[in-house]
Amino acid sequence: MAPSLLSERPARFLASALLCVVLTACGADDPTASPQATERAKLIYTECVEEELGMEVVSLDISPEGDIDVQFGQGYSEENARRAVEICEQRIASVLDPQSGTAVLGPPPNLGRPGNDQELSRLLDARARLGFEGAIIAEFQGIPRLAAGYGARAQGSPAAPDPDTVFDCGSIMKPITAATLFLLEQDGLLSRDQTLAELFDGVPPRWRTVTIQQVLTHSAGFDAYHDTEGDFEQMDQATALARIFGQEPRFAPGTDSEYSNSGFTLLAALIEDLTGDDYRDVVRTRVFEPLGMTRSGFYSDGIWQDDNVAIGRNDAVYQRNNPAEWPAPSWALVGNGGLVSSVRDLLALAKGFEGEALFEPTTRAAFHHDYLARTTASLGAHAVIGYAGANDYGFRAVVLQVPQDSTFVVAASHVLSAAHAEIVGFEALQLLYGEVLELPAME
């Protein structure tokens, strides 16, 4: 904190209007933050104003409704006060209302040079103080740099997560489904240029010309979902296919792109049809086993007997929020979610996408060019591939990889917080390089 200049009259700044906009409204029904959230918001705001803007915070009060009453001291200027509104207030909005999704990714403190281990540790410790509970693992240019856990596996538990703790990983199931399709193409069982009419019986005319490649890239026109009750709706494959093919196209196939869980459930059904085996068994034998992903599976698999499982924490609750105990995924979720894994296993997955254990060279090149390249971000001169997943029960996970550099960052969290896995993963990658990550839309 900058030293106080008693001879300088602090500027007083009341900043409530913007936060009301960010949090949607300012009436009696406003989101009301907990005392813990408002204390975290104060820490973030003070850190942002003092370390990034160089302006002293003399006093600060943040109400549960998001009103800010702050006195600035040394370094005050009208320009800095304006930047505090535009930058620092935006950042704390996601702390006061984590459901808002308004978290802002700031530049790394070591901009222009690679970060060291001490700086990386300080970053993670600070994010843990701001609510990060989960695990993270990182390798930079082929060298392991971080493997750690923060918080508690379950509320009130003395056990902290670690790199082998398993989390619900949400949509990270999708690149695994995609990789399995590429492996079946490698085996000669299909071509991604084939249409749905060539691969499924009874396809309605509106979907007949859609190709597998269009489904893989969310450009077929399917809806986001085919369930009506959420992830745990009981549904068999026939019902799922009937609902998916019964949808009206959101756009002409190949003319646009819109995220679709339904499309990946359709691909899972195709995997079963082509192999004659259960989708989950195919994934285990073709992806998990070759890559040594021994802690990866699906809800209710029963492979996590050591209880090293993260229990989700959020307002939404399903049973005990324990993904190891949740019922096996129905066809509301098969192919697009239901994955339970650890950050160590997800690191093995990311390395598998780069190495020789999974794909033949031509298939690996095609997988990168035709699928993974859709989620490329920029980090200075480096291209970053990213894929992520989340659910309503506190869980988030992200995998970031820099293929040209053998750099990987994998993070998972199980508690709803502004310092969730994606933000922490992004910040760790930025710090490793000392560069700003320019983010596209994540899957």
pLDDT at 168: 98
pLDDT at 4: 25
pLDDT at 148: 98
Give per-residue pLDDT as tens, 98-131.
655 445 567 888 999 999 999 999 999 988 987 8
pLDDT at 203: 98
pLDDT at 373: 86
The stretches in the chain having pLDDT less than 70 are 1-31, 94, 98-105, 440-443
In whole angstroms, what is the distance from residue 184 CA to residue 212 CA?
Answer: 12
Whole-model pTM: value is 0.82
Q: Which class in CATH covers the domain with range 166-438?
A: alpha beta
Give per-residue pLDDT as tens, 309-366.
999 998 899 999 999 999 999 999 999 999 999 999 999 999 999 999 999 999 999 9
pLDDT at 272: 98
pLDDT at 123: 93
* Cβ–Cβ < 8 Å for 177, 267: yes
pLDDT at 22: 23
pLDDT at 374: 80
| CATH for the stretch 11-100 | 3.30.70
pLDDT at 388: 94
pLDDT at 72: 94
pLDDT at 54: 86
pLDDT at 104: 55
Q: C-alpha distances in angstroms, 342 versus 118, 146, 247, 361, 376? A: 25, 15, 35, 27, 23
The boundaries of every CATH 3.30.70 domain in the chain are 11-100
pLDDT at 21: 23
The boundaries of every CATH 3.40.710.10 domain in the chain are 166-438
